[in-house]
Chain A
């Protein structure tokens, strides 16, 4: 394919067609999208909105195909990640606060406001165990990652409990928090260690092997802790509370590494996810996702200590989950809407192809006959036909697409062009056409030639936009000219008089604004002068 000849028709044109262009707006100085930012926005958003109340907890099943469970009112809904639709619902007796899959994905534990923790079979939805010991609502329940037999839970009675699930009994009661325990996470490297966070601003690391039932390490977040997670290495934790997300080094004795404070309201939930890209700088790196009541989701690169992506949702956000296969991102909001996002599955196709290759390795592809001009089929080639090697490619010149008003301007039909662009919605284009007419010395002639209806269109436009500072330089002058030239016609028509009334009102409004601005300036400028003197 390398020696495909690309011939372009060589043509020297002396003059070209220039469509009228609106004036450029000054761009805000935001940097353009980084590749990573593009990646995160490539998750196709999907709203699941038929739930009733807020979603306090979301958990993904650790085994493929990674169903996810969302706690919602008195039920726990399981969703399929492919269709993002509810697959099944597990009902509970009270409002569910937290849920957690076991590491093999076959059981799920759910806690509720009555202080009860229940364990369900995911497939059959039958309740298997009821763990009752908490005196107050249970706020978090968690299966350890490497342990199928125990559970960790914490509640508003400020007690952290370590359960033996099979026997429905509490193994350890861990006292130490002095306020509601709201969150916790189990270590990814060790089945016996976990952290909990509480409204007493502290995060405690517990080890069930320690005898004295005291926390191993304690760190102070400085705000009521809303969420705490282990980072995948197991040596660091991230805590969320107040407006900040903080990262702590546990191996280094509980030292704070970084505090990310880019949210404006309380951060409610954080989780860890992986960039699912195969190539690129940031491929297969971990990120911290945080959601907050301000409606923002932020992606935080804790290697570079930088927020790499930020996304806004139209509701306060309560919980976030990210699937282990990096395909699905689910955010629960306070008004019962789940903002799910799913990436297009490219890798799946690739894998299946590889599978085919191995399975059908011996089978040859049927050789397709090359098309020759002697075949009838040759003349029925479609547009999608790929050029053969040795074919001469003749590029067609790109056609310049012209708007209606540009076509009219090209034909010197100035009034029609003005009317056509006034009928459109784009203010910038109208002004651009007017400026072009000024350059051709035809604007006033156009105004004279407008009939009553078209004049109404023009006056309506002037009423709306003549006081806009961006265009007022041209439009106020034009308004005056129009009124001078067409005074007779305006007097004759009631509809036009209405336009004039509107115009007058908007001009008076603008004058009022200018007056008050001048007053403000009068107040401020002496202050500035005094400040400058110092």
Chain B
């Protein structure tokens, strides 16, 4: 069993201490990517629900940079402590409440005091209170901020810092002194007590604003907090908490000044010196982040533009055209590397001063919402069964080809030459994408929506796979293939370069590629698809089309009846019917004589038609989302949505709303059933596993193994053997990416100016080990341009340390 297609952007990622790894929360696990190659290296498996936070234990000394420890928190109510270099689970703390967010301020502030005996570590958790029964849906305070003693692995007793309606995400300052949440129109900020203990009083202040706020960020050194709201404004409070957080010895010499003139912009009795507003973003701000020296503020939002504000002057720099709403910005210990996570499930690694995109970690594209009127009846997900690829429509008018076995994006095909701007009205929609059986051809249909009845256009495109470069290139464009009627389905002939497109306008067209007639290997210079035949049946809208497995019969559904054609001669062979509602999906059940049809609507139906009797063989009243049939078997699988009436036993189904049924076509009793989640908008396919078997040697040398692939509505997928008894989970990360990881990682100075020839890299590394005698470390510490050096506070300790004589000890 292979799982994949998980979202990388639900929670912020974290960099390892040497900035060579990026830890990304992916559903129930944490996947570790190499920043040099952008490929997955390891994964930390163990959580049983969505992982919501990952925190790398920072290195206090340069020596501990190689240490790889991290804390993770998950919705399953556990906090786990890992050594992610191995990977190994070290510790589990059970909180018993779903954790939405976790911060550990003491890890950040620890850096100053090095040789102390390890103090107790406290985490602040944002949990969802599920224990109390819901009294009234409106008033229940479900979100709680709690404190947890990680050293003793128990909750700090009775400490609930705050209760909110919804669980909120906690933000911590990079110095570890403050943390806060934003909820509705308020910011609530706590000061972390200097001497941590379970009962330590945590002081808090609240700041108010007139709009709902989305995000907040703390300045690393000064008492400045920034917050972004839904209208795109960025508010910056300076000197927050002067009264409350001033060291509590009663030395509050400052007068209470409620005077508006002295505290510009601050609302009411809020504890801050001043509040300024910056407004550039046109839509909500999702990302706010102060640079590590506190001179710049990064902000980003729905427009997909990363803005860098100079904090003193308010001057802006931009990284535009990211093409998708930004969700998270993460800084790395390497000052030249950071990452942004976008809503289209991509993480871009940025080279920092110049903000160039170095690498992109692209996950499966998330489903995008299309305007109602052009929602195709099919889900628009196509499979290449031999190569194990899936083709998905993306929001930016592309088709993403995603490898199911490798769990990574292969390529993107730009269908419409347009740039997608998040937030704009959708005017062009890719409605269909179909791959041929051997994966060498692709056909897409797109619709340009008219402006007040002007200029709408339906466009059919055929793509051919290049022989070497594995990229699809455009072969033919057909404008308005069925006048102005929309295309309902496209199907490829299983063996020959032939395709059929059916339209709601009442006709279908058979297209042939004139390349196929040529016997020679070299393609004709002007190969293209031409219309071979046009057919229609009583002017009824054609809603679905498919070829039989040997290609001899073309079945086209004309609303409620199914017409069978000889595609070559364009002769109507037979008409079978009819169903109660229009047929939306057709498939031949493998090599058998059965045709499967699915119809939706008020009386949904799954019908199996016998080709020999030309009549219905059996049928169910089920809303079938997708049908898949294996090419060489008589099985077929159907993904059915559970009807509304069965929702009463919701507890037993645990949110599962769909069933995969595996049928033998001649038998109405399903062979297997599996219940699945988020079946709406899902898709099914049988995938040839032989390629996979060669790589993994797991499948006991069975020759032609078919795996059933299921993609749910969130584009998470699952590959399993439909005949297998136990579902065995394979690790999806291939170990091939490891080799080139180590030498590819350049760091700091080298990443900007290249490798210096006179430095021996081995010696350089050795100089960081404290046991070895240092020669002249100041040369390496301060080399590089000033803007690229770590802040002086960090450098200074290293420099002074290097001046001290060190006792040589044996280090194993």
Interface residues of A (CB under 8 A from B): 11-18, 21, 23-24, 27, 29, 31-32, 434-435, 438-441, 443-444, 473-474, 477-478, 481
Contacts and interface: CB of A to CB of B under 8 A. Distances in A.
B448 A24 contact: no
Contacts of A439: 418, 427-428, 448
B425 A441 contact: yes
B532 interface: no
- Identify the 3 closest CB pairs spanning chains A and B, nearest first: A438-B455, A18-B417, A15-B321
Given A15-B322, A435-B457, A478-B455, 8 more contacts: A14-B323, A15-B323, A23-B479, A27-B526, A32-B525, A32-B526, A435-B455, A443-B455
Contacts of B428: 439
Interface in B416-453: 417-420, 425, 427-428, 448, 450-453
Interface string B466-507: 000000000001011000100000000000000000000000
A438 B526 contact: no
A12 B477 contact: no
A12 to B, nearest CB: 5
A443 B451 contact: yes
B454 A11 contact: no
Contact of A477 (B321, B425, B453): B453
A61 B477 CA distance: 55
Given A443-B454, A481-B452, A11 B356 contact: yes
Contacts of A31: 525-526
Given A24-B477, A31-B525, A15 B420 contact: yes
A444 B453 CA distance: 11
A12 B358 contact: yes
B360 A12 contact: yes
Contacts of B450: 438
B267 interface: no
Given A32-B525, A435-B455, A473 B484 contact: yes
Interface string B76-89: 00000000000000
B746 to A, nearest CB: 13
6 contacts: A15-B323, A23-B479, A32-B525, A444-B451, A444-B454, A477-B453
B656 interface: no
Contacts of B455: 434-435, 438, 443, 473-474, 477-478
Interface residues of B, dominant DSSP: loop
Contact of A441 (B360, B420, B427, B457): B427
Interface in B297-325: 321-323
Given A12-B357, A23-B479, A31-B525, A438 B454 contact: yes
Given A32-B525, A474-B454, A474-B455, A438 B356 contact: no
Contacts of B323: 14-15
Interface of B: 321-323, 348, 356-360, 396, 417-420, 425, 427-428, 448, 450-455, 457, 477, 479-480, 484, 525-526
A439 B426 CA distance: 9
Contacts of B360: 12
A439 B427 CA distance: 5
Nearest to A431: B455
Nearest to B451: A438
Interface residues of A, dominant DSSP: loop
A444 B454 CA distance: 9
Which of A21, A24, A443, A473 gathers the greatest number of chain B CB atoms within 10 Å? A473
A439 B419 CA distance: 11
A440 B427 contact: yes
Contact of A16 (B359, B419, B425, B454): B419
A15 B448 contact: no
A12 B420 contact: no
A365 B420 CA distance: 61
A262 B418 CA distance: 48
Contact of A15 (B358, B359, B419): B419
Contacts of A27: 526
Nearest to B452: A444
A440 B418 CA distance: 11
B768 to A, nearest CB: 29
A17 B356 CA distance: 18
A202 to B, nearest CB: 45
B567 to A, nearest CB: 21
Which of B356, B420, B455 gathers the greatest number of chain A CB atoms within 10 Å? B455
Nearest to A438: B455
A11 B351 CA distance: 11
Contacts of B358: 12
A166 B323 CA distance: 92
Contacts of B356: 11
B417 A21 contact: yes
A27 B457 CA distance: 21
A32 B523 CA distance: 13
Contacts of B425: 441
Contacts of B357: 11-14
A457 to B, nearest CB: 19
Contacts of B418: 18, 439
Contacts of B453: 477
Contact of B448 (A14, A32, A435): A435
Contacts of A11: 356-357
A438 B448 CA distance: 9
A15 B322 CA distance: 7
A450 to B, nearest CB: 16
B358 to A, nearest CB: 7
A473 B483 CA distance: 10
Nearest to B425: A441
Nearest to A439: B427
Which of B359, B360, B477, B526 gathers the greatest number of chain A CB atoms within 10 Å? B526
B39 to A, nearest CB: 15
B322 to A, nearest CB: 6
B394 to A, nearest CB: 13
B462 to A, nearest CB: 13
A483 to B, nearest CB: 13
Contacts of A32: 525-526
A297 B551 CA distance: 48
B400 to A, nearest CB: 14
A478 B450 CA distance: 11
Contacts of A15: 321-323, 396, 419-420
Contact of A18 (B419, B427, B457): B419
Nearest to A11: B356
A28 to B, nearest CB: 10
A23 B417 CA distance: 12
A441 B419 contact: no
A478 B454 contact: yes
Contacts of B457: 435
Nearest to B359: A12
A444 B450 CA distance: 12
Nearest to B421: A15
B525 to A, nearest CB: 5
A439 B450 CA distance: 8
Nearest to B480: A473
Nearest to A478: B454
Nearest to A32: B525
Given A14-B321, A474-B454, A29 B526 contact: yes
A440 B525 CA distance: 36
B510 to A, nearest CB: 18
B320 to A, nearest CB: 9
A310 to B, nearest CB: 19
B457 to A, nearest CB: 7
